[in-house]
Copies of this chain bind each other. A is one copy, B any other.
Amino acid sequence: MEKRKIEVCFTPALLPLYHIENAIVVVIDIFRATSSICYGIANGAEAIIPVATVEQCKAYESEGFLLAAEREGEIVEGFDFGNSPFAYTADKVKGKTVVLTTTNGTHAIDESKKTAFQVIIGSFLNLDAVCNYLRNQNKDVFLLCAGWKNKFNLEDSLFAGAVVHQLNHDDYFLDDSGIAAADLYRQAQDDLIAYTAKTSHSERLKKLGIEEDIRFCLNVNIIDSIPVLKENRLVKL
């Protein structure tokens, strides 16, 4: 294999600066979209369809799908559920198709699918599965943090750092954001919950009463499947 590169993009706003035609893009929105997507697919959801807007989500009403919409951390009125991972358990999603729109995560999927070689979904829940898959493909790696409204956020960057940290032994070219993310992860890895509790985002989520969600999203390697985007549907790889 030629020496591959890993790039870390801290927010979708910076995506236009990169060339991702030869890269597998890992979309990262730890609190909570991509954690919930990974959990739902692992729990047997047939597909999760990410859409950019609440209106697009509503348009699927007649198809008998589960509709999930989150904005500003809360379930949008009139929807079955939002992006809490506890809404993606087997008893709720097994064999079903979920249509999902969220503040940051589905936007990042939408932006990257236009040019990426492939789009997969990462979270701490399936960290090792993601790393093992990337290691075995002869492709560049592009870690796309969904961030918070196009700004940098800590938890997504930490997960990007975890991937860089694991793949680094395989001698990839790293960019500066990859170096920074991996160093942050090494500081945080012994206690991800304590580390991410420092963030303003985490404060905001606490106010929403979803601390249990947050703790759940920081579980490492509890599932071993990976959602992959195929024709606008996320399915098990």
- A149 contacts which chain B residues (CB < 8 A)? 17
Which residues of A from 102 to 160 have beta carbons under 8 Å from B?
A: 148-154, 157
Whether a CB of chain B sits under 8 angstroms from the CB of A198 is yes
Whether a CB of chain B sits under 8 angstroms from the CB of A43 is no
From A18, which residue of chain B is reached at the shortest CB distance?
B151
Bound complex: CA A10 to CA B176 (Å): 11
Bound complex: CA A176 to CA B199 (Å): 6
- A175 contacts which chain B residues (CB < 8 A)? 151-152, 200
Kindly identify which residue among B13, B153, B183, B200 contacts A184, using a CB–CB cutoff of 8 Å: B183
Which residues of A from 180 to 217 have beta carbons under 8 Å from B?
A: 180, 183-184, 187, 198-201
From A150, which residue of chain B is reached at the shortest CB distance?
B17
Bound complex: CA A198 to CA B182 (Å): 12
From A161, which residue of chain B is reached at the shortest CB distance?
B180
- A13 contacts which chain B residues (CB < 8 A)? 13-14, 17
Kindly identify which residue among B14, B152, B179 contacts A199, using a CB–CB cutoff of 8 Å: B179
From A14, which residue of chain B is reached at the shortest CB distance?
B13
| Distance from A173 Cβ to chain B, minimum over Cβ atoms (Å) | 8
- A66 contacts which chain B residues (CB < 8 A)? none
- A183 contacts which chain B residues (CB < 8 A)? 184, 187
A180–B157 contact, CB under 8 A? yes
Bound complex: CA A197 to CA B157 (Å): 22
Whether a CB of chain B sits under 8 angstroms from the CB of A89 is no
Whether a CB of chain B sits under 8 angstroms from the CB of A54 is no
User: Knowing A17-B13, A184-B184 touch, does A177 contact B152 (C-beta < 8 A)?
Assistant: yes
Name A residues whose Cβ lies closer than 8 Å to a Cβ of B. 10-11, 13-14, 17, 148-154, 157, 173-177, 179-180, 183-184, 187, 198-201
Can you name 19 A-B pairs with beta carbons within 8 Å? Answer: A10-B10, A10-B152, A13-B13, A17-B149, A17-B150, A152-B175, A152-B177, A152-B180, A153-B176, A154-B179, A157-B176, A174-B200, A175-B200, A176-B200, A176-B201, A179-B198, A179-B199, A183-B184, A183-B187
